[in-house]
Structure 1
Amino acid sequence: MGLKNTGDTTRQGARIGVRWRIADSWNMRLGYVAQTLHSDDTQYAFKPLGGDRRALSLQEPSGNDFDGLSATLSGDLGWAHLKINTAVQSHGLDRRYDATVATDRFGGAGRTAYDESDSIEALVTEATLSSQTGGQLNWLVGLFATEYSHDRTGDVTQQTPVRLLYENRRRDHVDETALYGQAAWALTDRLKITAGARVFRLGVETQAVARQAGMIIDTLDSTRSDSGIAPKLVIEYALRDNILVYVQGSEGYRAGGFNTGTTSAQPYGVAGGLQPYRQFRSDELVSYEAGTRFRVWDDRLVMRLALFGIDWRTIQSDRIGTDGLPFTGNIGNARNLGVEGELAWVDGPWRIDANLMFAEPELDSPDPGFPIPADTSLSGVPNLIANVAARRALIVATLPAWVSGSVGYVGASNLIFSADGRYPMGDYWTSDLAAGIDLENWSVSLRLENVSGSRANTFAYGNPFLVGVVDVTTPQRPASLIIGISRRF
């Protein structure tokens, strides 16, 4: 296309918060937040071309708009603390991809665009009752309910002459309710046990229709529901006043759903065959952790060290079909064993924070409908993440100020499951420097991100129709200077 500097991005937003003190122990908070984000083009490049170059037939703009209104009532009942929160949220997403390389799959020719749109409207309400703190037994019970609708569209359009080759219209209506609670019991001055559980039910109703060349090729009007119990258990023991050891286990759950919008190039498989299937199953994650937290040198240094294990069953994964359109599959069972640590050191005006995580995420039992070599690393999950940050408080002309800096590392991973590691990404460093000063009710800050000017590959994906066609790279954002101005009221 011969274009340069096409990726301009504009972000605008507003946030308003109001607090009303109804009585001595009762408060009402109202909040509103809105944001619009628009990019003129995507940010990836073609690796074979070198540098930040690529060869596409169309620009790929995107938009992301969000707004939400919330209200929170909290107060003291004497025997317990009550908190009720409700929020109304709206989220709109629009994006375009160049589908020219796949136009023949949809019966087209020449420049072709794939336009996606998502519109989400949600109502969320949550109420909790918690005990007064300080006793031998502390407890919390809560009720959660949400209802939301998600409208999605996907159109493949030939540009010259303009012709709609494929269209997909889908609506999901979801309602979820959950009752949860936990209790922390201090059996002795040193031993505490915390146990909890979440009982949930989720129902989804999906309606969808897809057309190719004006003919209906896929339609669905169906419902499904999922329910279960997710428990949690934590045991803590204080070896000394400054040394604590603990073990914990918890379970997470994600509901299943439906795939829609298939084309003749990607029919749905049947049980025992290859995915995608019409329905994808729920997945379950069980995590275990054992570690220690301790404080030394008059609490100037606080550290946490832990060993963890994760058992993930019937993993849901968003994949790309042979027609270039997305679907959700269950790829099998995986495990992840690792170690993590973090520390915070505070001494006078100085504060230093550091964290490190090393893991070995592997798919140990692939689903027969999604043939992947066993012991393949989980896609998109690095085996090493580390970060160190330092901050120093200052006085500049009698005004409080600060300076800070950080450096981090994100380890290597792969975009998709591949025995030969064809789609590598990650293995890069991050860095930033910042400074700020307080001027009574005003604050001013400067932040320089990507100080080293690294151009490493953060994400080896740019366009669903290019997967398997050309290797892409998404470099880090160039060194950027950010100015912040805020006022306290």
Structure 2
Amino acid sequence: MRTILKFSRLLGCTATIALSFGLADAAHAQSADAVPVAAGAAADEPPGDIVVTATRRETSLQKTPMAITALSGQTLTNAGVTNIADYAKFVPSLRIQDNGPGQRRVSLRGVQTSGEATVGVYYDDTPVTGSVGVSSDAAGRTADFTLFDVNRIEVLRGPQGTLYGASSMGGAIRVILNKPTQEYEGKVELQIADTKGGGFGYFVQGMVNVPLVKDLVAVRAVLYRRDSDGYIDNTYLGRKNTNDYTATGGRVMVRVTPSSSLTIDGSAMFENTDAYSASWNPAVGDYKAASQVMLPYTDRSQIYNLTGKLDLGFASLTSISSYQHRRSAYAADDSYYIASYRTATRCAAYVNASTGGGACSADQLTNYFGYIDGLSPAAIYYPGSTKDFTQEVRLSSIGTNLFDWTVGGFYQNRRNDVTSEDARADKATGDIITPNQIFYRREIFDKLEQFAAFGEGTFHPTPTIGLTAGIRYFDYSKTVEGFTDIAWTLIGAPARPLSTVESSENGTLLKFNASWQATPDTMFYATASQGFRPGGANQVIGLSADLTPYRSDSLWNYEIGSKFTLLDRKLTLNLAAYQIDWTNIQVSGRTTNGAFSFLSNAGAARIRGVEAEAFLRPMRGLQLTLSGNYIDPKLTEDQVNESVVAAGRAGDRIPFIPNWSGAVGAEYTTPVSNSLDFFARADVNYVGSSYSEFRPTNVYRVKIGAYSLTNLRIGFDLKQSDAGVYLFVNNLFDEVAINRASQSSTANSYSATSAAPRTIGLNVRKSF
């Protein structure tokens, strides 16, 4: 804990000193009517006035005793944010492993491994789940919708087990969408861009809001389309700009207000994505790939929601019914893995297995090599679907009372179906041959059903002190079924009939928090909170019985924090320090032939870190922001149990988590005339180095280098016509910013994903 406090003081002093330089220069230019801004708020919002609902009740951001970042819709628009990877740079400890659309792994505070998600992602109050896949790794395929017409984003750092339940052990992200209003309004936004070494890109998006029945019914509709030509060249196939991407989506929202105390919101969202893999091979060259197969990705995601809110006077009753349906398919190049079987030793083991594995004759070797060569090029193709129904009912007190409280219940029924099949591809083009020429197929059906009851209450013995306790009881069961109908004995995958494995678990999660509002502009708090994510059952060919089930993992988070509003409310400074003790970690293992991955439980970790956020308005029209964090994520136990010996040992650093990261930003607006404002914004994001494996001695360990990304936007706001035109440059200095990299024993396995090269574009907006 001394280490945490030392880093907290160091980071806090650093933030204050850095901002003081800007303050000193601007002090004489401040005017009496300068309006400070909130954390991530628009320019006319004072610090702390932004209202959040992270506690399931409306509270002021700066008086909510937790580490939370709130980004307003205006900030997202000004910064050109369109997806989760764009806004992650503004949030301390938020890390995105970006493997392309629909394949993003989200983590907070270094809590990251394979398995169910460690961060809950919500659109309004609808939890969005990832697709499980054949390796039970839902966290690696988090669903993602384009961000447009967003009210705000709330990022809750630290476990949110009591109110948000499973898969929020690292924290939760809440995207709050704009709701229908009783006003006619609309907006449209157009953008064109060109990427260095790549092709042309554009998007067009629009919104219209119409009151259908005065004071009773209103409708809000959003529609968008995005297209990018890509920037990765495949040298093996001789194809350029292979990672092209297209997304079309939208939503319709209806709000019905039968009375002043009852609001009913219904919504339907969809997004259709067609893309190709954004991975490339650093050994071949920057933004160069050598896969033998083109790797398509398709995603058809839909979310339907019905939410009712009833004001009972003393409390608010809320019911949320949601249904998510996602059909997706992705692919991986299996050609190089198949080629690893093209050896005399493999021939002996496969062809002469029945006679003890003796050496192959010349004819046997010729026939065997012909068989192997006839399989490639090939892709592992994973089509699947996710259907997820959730229902939550909660009752929350209104306002601030001697005792504030929330109680509720939650139910989830999630079904995942996924196919794993090897299909041949065209040698010349790399395209998967259609109809698919399949030589191996396995089907898996995964069902998760869970119930939970939760409650959280805050007692105020004095107007400035809050004492909070929360509890959540959970009970879940998981059923996994599967069969193999097209065998591939080469990799030890014979035909198997339908089999079923089950697991279940119940337990409780706890939270304790104490806060002190020392002055109207100063708060201190301390938290001890618990988080977990469900276990399950593997459905892997030939896996032994002791490896079939895996249990939930859990953690405790111990945290101290402070929130300050200083300098006549021109500076907001938030600090937090924490220690996370994580036990029974879900780890990924592989079968002895390397063909299948599975989950087990092994090891423990301790994560220590500090976070800082600062927002300064030194003069009218100028806003400065600073955020940063230090994370020290290490194993405290070897990742070993009776069934699996995983890679990590005590003292090893958790992969893909940089020790240091941070961002600085500046936004400036000034009048040019009565009808024209000049706008400029600069953002610099720094991400420290990390590693792809636990063990420093692992020959396949890849160092992922540190990088800084600089984005600039300048333009003009046409106030009278409520429009704007802006020129932007992303990745100004054209850094090769690798986000994730890994390699294995298979040839051409050293792969990476990264930020796009320098991109220059024009953005035009119009509201009416």
- Contact 1:176 1:201 (8 Å CA) reproduced: yes
Is 1:2 paired with 2:238?
yes
Is 1:16 paired with 2:291?
no
CA distance in 1, matches of 2:753, 2:314: 55
- Contact 2:692 2:702 (8 Å CA) reproduced: yes
The residue aligned with 2:604 is 333
> Structure 1 residues 163, 200: CA separation in 2 closer, same or farther (over 3 Å shift)?
same
Letter in 1 for 2:322: A
Is 1:377 paired with 2:653?
yes
> Structure 1 residues 404, 319: CA separation in 2 closer, same or farther (over 3 Å shift)?
farther
- Contact 1:88 1:124 (8 Å CA) reproduced: yes
- Contact 1:44 1:461 (8 Å CA) reproduced: no
The residue aligned with 1:54 is 289
Pairing partner for 2:737 from 429, 448, 456: 456
Letter in 1 for 2:260: D
Is 1:298 paired with 2:577?
no
Cα offsets for 1:364-418 (capped at 9, x unmatched): 2023222433211111222111011222234454256643221111111122323
Identity %: 22
Pairing partner for 1:212 from 487, 497, 500: 487
Structure 1 segment 78-117 matched on structure 2, within 5 A: 78-103=313-338, 108-109=372-373, 110-117=376-383
What is the number of equivalent residue pairs in this alignment?
Answer: 477
> Structure 1 residues 216, 324: CA separation in 2 closer, same or farther (over 3 Å shift)?
closer
DSSP 3-state at the match of 1:49: coil
- Contact 2:626 2:665 (8 Å CA) reproduced: yes
Pairing partner for 1:288 from 550, 558, 569: 558
- Contact 2:482 2:498 (8 Å CA) reproduced: yes
CA distance in 1, matches of 2:671, 2:409: 48
The residue aligned with 1:239 is 518
CA distance in 2, matches of 1:87, 1:485: 34
RMSD, matched Cα: 2.6
CA distance in 2, matches of 1:292, 1:112: 55
> Structure 1 residues 203, 330: CA separation in 2 closer, same or farther (over 3 Å shift)?
same
Is 1:355 paired with 2:630?
no
> Structure 1 residues 193, 326: CA separation in 2 closer, same or farther (over 3 Å shift)?
same
DSSP 3-state at the match of 2:400: coil
Q: CA deviation at 1:7?
A: 1.4
> Structure 1 residues 153, 51: CA separation in 2 closer, same or farther (over 3 Å shift)?
same
> Structure 1 residues 341, 390: CA separation in 2 closer, same or farther (over 3 Å shift)?
same
> Structure 1 residues 294, 12: CA separation in 2 closer, same or farther (over 3 Å shift)?
same
Q: Between 67-76 and 420-429, report the one with greater CA deviation.
A: 420-429
The residue aligned with 1:183 is 457
DSSP 3-state at the match of 1:154: strand
> Structure 1 residues 57, 16: CA separation in 2 closer, same or farther (over 3 Å shift)?
same
Q: Between 381-390 and 347-356, report the one with greater CA deviation.
A: 347-356
- Contact 1:382 1:426 (8 Å CA) reproduced: no
Letter in 1 for 2:320: N
TM-score where L is the length of structure 1: 0.90
> Structure 1 residues 473, 206: CA separation in 2 closer, same or farther (over 3 Å shift)?
closer
Q: Between 465-474 and 72-81, report the one with greater CA deviation.
A: 465-474
Q: CA deviation at 1:144?
A: 1.2
Is 1:130 paired with 2:405?
no
Structure 1 or 2: larger helix share?
2
The residue aligned with 1:387 is 663
DSSP 3-state at the match of 1:195: strand
> Structure 1 residues 389, 331: CA separation in 2 closer, same or farther (over 3 Å shift)?
farther
> Relative contact order, CA 8 A, sep 6+: which one is greater?
2
Q: Between 444-453 and 22-31, report the one with greater CA deviation.
A: 444-453
Q: CA deviation at 1:449?
A: 2.1
TM-score where L is the length of structure 2: 0.58
Structure 1 segment 132-281 matched on structure 2, within 5 A: 132-159=398-425, 164-210=438-484, 211-213=486-488, 215-217=494-496, 220-262=499-541, 267-269=542-544, 277-281=547-551
The residue aligned with 2:270 is 34
CA distance in 1, matches of 2:611, 2:410: 32
Q: CA deviation at 1:303?
A: 0.9
DSSP 3-state at the match of 2:283: helix
Q: CA deviation at 1:484?
A: 5.2
Is 1:75 paired with 2:335?
no
- Contact 1:337 1:360 (8 Å CA) reproduced: yes
> Structure 1 residues 311, 483: CA separation in 2 closer, same or farther (over 3 Å shift)?
farther
> Structure 1 residues 46, 132: CA separation in 2 closer, same or farther (over 3 Å shift)?
closer
Letter in 2 for 1:409: Y
Q: Between 106-115 and 407-416, report the one with greater CA deviation.
A: 106-115
Q: CA deviation at 1:134?
A: 2.4
> Structure 1 residues 298, 284: CA separation in 2 closer, same or farther (over 3 Å shift)?
same
- Contact 1:168 1:261 (8 Å CA) reproduced: no
> Structure 1 residues 326, 487: CA separation in 2 closer, same or farther (over 3 Å shift)?
farther
Cα offsets for 1:93-146 (capped at 9, x unmatched): 211111011226698433121101220011111122111212121111121112
- Contact 2:503 2:549 (8 Å CA) reproduced: no
Q: Between 201-210 and 102-111, report the one with greater CA deviation.
A: 102-111
DSSP 3-state at the match of 2:462: coil
Cα offsets for 1:137-170 (capped at 9, x unmatched): 1111121112121101110134489853321101
Cα offsets for 1:208-246 (capped at 9, x unmatched): 113523842475312221211111111112333432221
Q: Between 402-411 and 364-373, report the one with greater CA deviation.
A: 364-373
- Contact 2:466 2:515 (8 Å CA) reproduced: yes
DSSP 3-state at the match of 1:101: helix
Q: CA deviation at 1:328?
A: 2.1
Cα offsets for 1:429-469 (capped at 9, x unmatched): 1221235636668554644322221112211049xx87685
Letter in 1 for 2:471: A
- Contact 1:86 1:126 (8 Å CA) reproduced: yes
CA distance in 1, matches of 2:584, 2:594: 24
Pairing partner for 1:420 from 697, 700, 703: 697
Letter in 2 for 1:121: K
> Structure 1 residues 71, 168: CA separation in 2 closer, same or farther (over 3 Å shift)?
same
CA distance in 2, matches of 1:356, 1:467: 37
DSSP 3-state at the match of 1:50: coil
The residue aligned with 1:274 is none
- Contact 2:261 2:310 (8 Å CA) reproduced: yes
> Structure 1 residues 241, 439: CA separation in 2 closer, same or farther (over 3 Å shift)?
closer
Is 1:364 paired with 2:640?
no
Letter in 2 for 1:212: A
CA distance in 2, matches of 1:217, 1:194: 53
Letter in 2 for 1:167: R
CA distance in 1, matches of 2:298, 2:718: 35
Letter in 2 for 1:261: V
Pairing partner for 1:409 from 675, 686, 689: 686
CA distance in 1, matches of 2:761, 2:553: 41
Letter in 2 for 1:173: K
- Contact 1:405 1:433 (8 Å CA) reproduced: yes
- Contact 1:108 1:165 (8 Å CA) reproduced: no
- Contact 2:501 2:539 (8 Å CA) reproduced: no
Q: CA deviation at 1:346?
A: 2.5
Structure 1 or 2: larger strand share?
1
- Contact 2:731 2:756 (8 Å CA) reproduced: yes
